[in-house]
Amino acid sequence: MTEQKKSFVDQIIAKKGHLVHKLKAKDSTGRWAYYFVLVEPPRESAFMQAIEGDGTIDLEDFGKVIASCYGEEPSQEVKDFLKDKYDFEV
């Protein structure tokens, strides 16, 4: 099996695993979903305050959604994607 070369952006994200937040929340349609959001340090405080609230937030206002899926737990497809693309264990 040959390993695919990761893009420059993917390599940067892979080095920032400690900045990726795993978030279970309802989406705008009311369905449960899991989101993996890369939040850079300057936005982290605002992000944490926003997710503590009871309103609707746009995750892209605070960081980059690197993966998401519907359900009560992260799907195997998302786990495999994060492992293959960024070498993250979920």
Q: pTM value?
A: 0.88
Confidence of residue 2 (pLDDT cuts 50, 70, 90): very low
What CA–CA distance (Å, rounded) separates 46 from 53?
Answer: 11
All residues at 6 or more sequence positions from 33 whose CB lies less than 8 Å from its CB, including other chains? 24, 25, 26, 27, 68, 69, 70, 71
**What token pair was written down for 3?**
């390993």
**What token pair was written down for 53?**
């609230």
What CA–CA distance (Å, rounded) separates 32 from 23?
Answer: 10
**What token pair was written down for 43?**
């936005």
Task: Tell me the per-residue pLDDT of 34-82, one tens digit each, with 9 for 90 and over.
Answer: 999 999 999 999 999 999 988 889 999 999 999 999 999 999 999 999 9
Bigger pLDDT: 27 vs 82:
82
- Does the structure show a pLDDT above 60 at 83? yes
Q: What is the pLDDT of residue 1?
A: 36
- Does the structure show a pLDDT above 70 at 4? no
